Amino acid sequence: MNFKNSRMTHWTVPLAWVAGLLFYWVPVQAQTSGSAPMRSEVLKPLAAAQEALKNNQAEQALSRTREALAVTQLTPAERGLVLRTQAVAALRAQNWGVAIEALEFLVTSPEVSVKDRLPMLESLVNSAQQKKDQALVVKWARQYLKDGGGNPVIRVVMIQSLSVMGEHKQVVSEMQEKLRLDVAAGLQTPEQELRMLAMSHRQLKDSAGYQSTLRRLLESYPSKAYWAEVIQRLAQQVNLNPRLELDLYRLLDQTDNLEEAGDYTELAQLALKAGLPAEALRVMAKGYEAGLLGKGVDAAAHNKLRIEAQKKAQEDERGFAQFEQAAQDSTAWAGVGNVYASQQNWASANVAYGKALALGGLRREPEFRLHYAISLLKAGQKDAARQQLAAVQGDALAVELASLWGLLAR
C-alpha cells in the first residue's frame, strides 16, 4: 500500500514564568531572631545593592553583593541575606550561573522555610533551563515536586529535559503520572506533551505504547497527519483481512489523505475488484481534478483505468435494476446496498442494508455492519451508525476500522 510516512517532530515547550520576582529578599534592617546585628561592613554594600535593584541597576547590584560576600567570616544569617539579594540581581541581569549558585545555597539552607523555598526552586529550575543544564533542571524540578510545589509547568519542563537527555523510560514514567493527574483534574493533556510521550515510546521501540499515544492524539487533537499515520500503521499489521483493504483506502479518502497518484489508482482498482465501478470512476475523477492523474509517464495507464471503470459502470447500470428485483436473501440485499453506497445513494443503500439485516444469516457480518454504519453516517444518522459500529465484532481489522469511524461519528 502506498501510505506516506508520517514522522513525529521535536519541539520546545515554552516556559510560562510569572513576570517579576519569584521570591522576596529580606530587607537589610530585618534581623533573624536571636542573631547578632548585621555588621556595617556587610550592611553597607548590601543596602547599596538593594537600592541599585530599586533603580533597575542589576549589574551594579551584583557588584555590591560581591563586595558583601567578600567580607570575612560571614555569619549564616548575613550570607543568607546577601545571597537572597544576589539571586534577585542575577535573575534580573540574566546571569544564570550566579543565580544558580546563589539559589542552590539558599534552597539547601535549613534557615529557609518551605514557603520561601518553593518560589526559589522555580527560579532555580528556570535558570538551569536558560543555561541548558538539563540534569540540573531535572534535579531541582524533582525537589520542587517533592516539596509540594503546585506550578504544573515545572513537571512539563522536567519531562522535556529528560527527553532531551534521552531518558525515555523516565519520560514515559513521568508522563503516565502527568496523564493521571490530568484525568483527576478533568484536564485535557496538551498536544505537545502527548507528542513528547509518543516520541519516547518510539525511541524505546514500544510499538503498543506508541500506537496507544497516537490514538490518544487522534482522539483529542484530530488532524490529517494523525489520521494518515494511524491508518498506515493499521495497514502494516500482520494477518489482516485483505478484503478490507478497500476500506482502509476509503478511510484515507474520508480524512483527505489521498495525496499521491498511486493512492487514487489503488483505490480505484480495489473498487473495481469489489465490483463497484461507480466508486472507481468517482475516485479517478477526483484524482484528475486534483491534478495527480493524467500526466507524466503513467498518463496512459491512468486513462486506461478510467476507461475500464466507465465501461464497467455502464454495464452495471444496465443490469442493476434486474439484480435488485431478484434480491431475496441477505447476501443479495447486502450487495444491492454496496452498489447504492458506491453511487453515494445513501438513502437507498440504507434501505437495502436494513433488509439484509432483517433477513439474517449475514455472510461476513463484521464487514457488512461496517459498511452499513458508514452509509448511515453519510446519511447523517449518527446514532444509528454508532449502533452498527458497536456491533462490529470478530474481525480485528473491521473492529479497528469501526473504532476509527466511531471517531468521525462523534
Q: pLDDT of 160-201, one tens digit each?
A: 999 999 999 999 999 999 999 999 999 999 999 999 999 999
Alpha-carbon distance 84 to 65, whole Å?
A: 10
Q: What is the mean pLDDT of residues 357-369?
A: 95
Give the phi and the psi of residue 93 in degrees, each rounded to 5.
-85, -5
Fold match flag (40-165 vs 327-410):
yes
Percent of the chain with pLDDT over 90: 86
What's the confidence (pLDDT) of residue 23? 44
**Cα separations in angstroms, 222 against 213, 217, 284, 380:** 13, 7, 27, 20
Cell of 165: 537527555
pLDDT averaged over every residue in the chain: 91
Instruction: Give the model's confidence band at 240: pLDDT under 50 very low, under 70 low, under 90 confident, else very high.
Output: confident
**Cα separations in angstroms, 407 against 237, 344, 389:** 21, 21, 11
What angle, rounded to 10 degrees, do the helices at 382-390 and 365-378 form?
Answer: 170
What's the confidence (pLDDT) of residue 226? 97
What's the confidence (pLDDT) of residue 387? 97
Q: What is the mean pLDDT of residues 204-215?
A: 96
Cell of 180: 493521571
What's the confidence (pLDDT) of residue 4? 36
Asked if pLDDT for residue 404 goes beyond 70, the answer is yes
Quick one: DSSP state of residue 14?
P
- pLDDT for 133-162, tens place per residue? 999 999 999 999 999 999 999 999 999 999
Alpha-carbon distance 130 to 7, whole Å?
A: 28
327-410 — its CATH code?
1.25.40.10
What's the confidence (pLDDT) of residue 2? 38
> Where in the chain are the domains?
40-165, 240-319, 327-410
Q: What is the mean pLDDT of residues 334-354?
A: 97
Task: Look at residue 152 and give its three-state secondary structure.
Answer: helix
What's the confidence (pLDDT) of residue 35? 58
Percent of the chain with pLDDT over 70: 91
Instruction: Give the model's confidence band at 28: pLDDT under 50 very low, under 70 low, under 90 confident, else very high.
Output: low
CB 257 within 8 A of CB 2: no
- pLDDT for 252-285, tens place per residue? 999 999 999 999 999 999 999 999 999 999 999 9
Q: HSE on the CB side for 125, CA within 13 Å?
A: 29
What's the confidence (pLDDT) of residue 37? 81
What's the confidence (pLDDT) of residue 1? 38
Where is average pLDDT lowest: 18-32, 38-52, 376-390? 18-32
What's the confidence (pLDDT) of residue 159? 97
CB 46 within 8 A of CB 64: yes
pTM of the model: 0.83
Alpha-carbon distance 355 to 352, whole Å?
A: 5
40-165 — its CATH code?
1.25.40.10
CB 182 within 8 A of CB 170: no
